[in-house]
Amino acid sequence: MVELPSPIKSKPFTGFYDHGPVDRDFSASEPSIGRQQVDSIVHVYALVRARIEVAVLNFLRILTSPDPAISDLPLIKRNSSNSRVSRGLLTDLSWVFLSHSFCTRSLMRANAAKAFVRVWKVMEVCFLILVQEKRVTQRELFYKLLCVSPEYFSSQLQVNRTIQDVVALLRCSRYSLGIMASSRGVVAGRLLLQEPNQEVVDCAECGSSGYAISGDLNMLDKLLMTTDARYIIVVEKHAIFQRLAEDRVFNHIPSILITAKGYPDIATRFLLHRMSRTFPELPILALVDWNPAGLAILCTFKFGSIGMGLEAYRYGAFLPVSFQILSLSVCPGFYSMVSSFVQPAM
């Protein structure tokens, strides 16, 4: 047992930017200052485990040093003042990214002490999940944490925010932490999908319910997709999506319909991102309410969100700057409204 003098000081966490022997080989994979994005190499689960181990070892090294201290945790700030929009030079792809400003989680501040502990608790559970080569949804992670640390986790919101803290600390994606997206999205229309070693699914024959989008991003990344559609239509409301699928509007207007049933989840954004890359010639239209909420949904599909600024570049869709918004309030008749933008099939 190490005797620590009192009081213990708070000290900046050297973490991955410390070039000591613990993480000398790891520092080379750090993101460059000015555009803190997820390193593609960190998607490898073994390297994420290594980052967690480095964080623990550096924390213990400072705690047991001759001048012991409790390390603050430096997190990339997730707010509008630290966000920028990046635009591709050769494509229409744009996305939100976070700059180089940091905030901290500290055990020495009363209002941040629990948030500090939550970060370590989530990293502990995620490390075990990765060692066991398993995957969990954010909801499953909440129940795990509720069982092992009920004094620190009482709501799903606390878990969601802490996951974002861990992503901001380790500079990795939540999927590389073993956390799957909980998908609400569905797709219908002129799209053929095939999972590895599975039969082909015709999304035009999935009825008004559509084809449920998996939360497994790795599987979505391996989907084989073919289409003869002319348009991709993003639908805000599930009820509108069901009506359009039931009326088989994609037979009149060759199109793919996709909805996240409201605010877009990660899996739906990722699939739209993949479709925009696989079918770059297809215009993407958005059928949303003509109000701030509809615009927010549209911007999230196109640019990503500030809260997920470290991962947004993976989920942005190739929506052109001059894309058309199909507003429900402009015209109550969908077919007459759409006909002003697109040409129906002959």
Sign of CA dihedral 180, 282, 285, 307: positive
Torsion, CA 330, CA 336, CA 340, CA 345, rounded to 10: 150
Could you give the CA distance from residue 301 to residue 325 in angstroms, rounded to a whole number? 13
Q: Is 143 annotated as catalytic?
A: yes
Residue 153 in tokens:
């986790």
For Cα atoms 240, 138, 306, give the angle at the middle one, nearest 5 degrees: 70
Residue spans of alpha helices (H) in the chain: 45-63, 113-131, 138-148, 156-170, 217-222, 238-246, 249-252, 266-278, 292-303, 334-339
Closest CA to 236 of 267, 257, 215: 257
Apex 317 CA angle, 223 and 37, nearest 5: 95
Phi, psi of 269 (to 5 degrees): -60, -40
Counting beta carbons within 10 angstroms of the beta carbon of residue 165, is it exposed (0 to 12), middle (13 to 18) or buried (19 or more)? Answer: buried
Q: Which residues of 9-28 are buried (b: 16+ CB within 10 A; e: fewer)?
A: eebbbbbbebeeebbeebee
Question: Active site residue: 45, 143, 211, 263, which one?
Answer: 143
CA distances from 28 to 24, 42, 61 (A): 8, 12, 21
* Whether 66 contacts 94, CB under 8 Å: no
User: Looking at the annotation, which residues are catalytic?
Assistant: 143
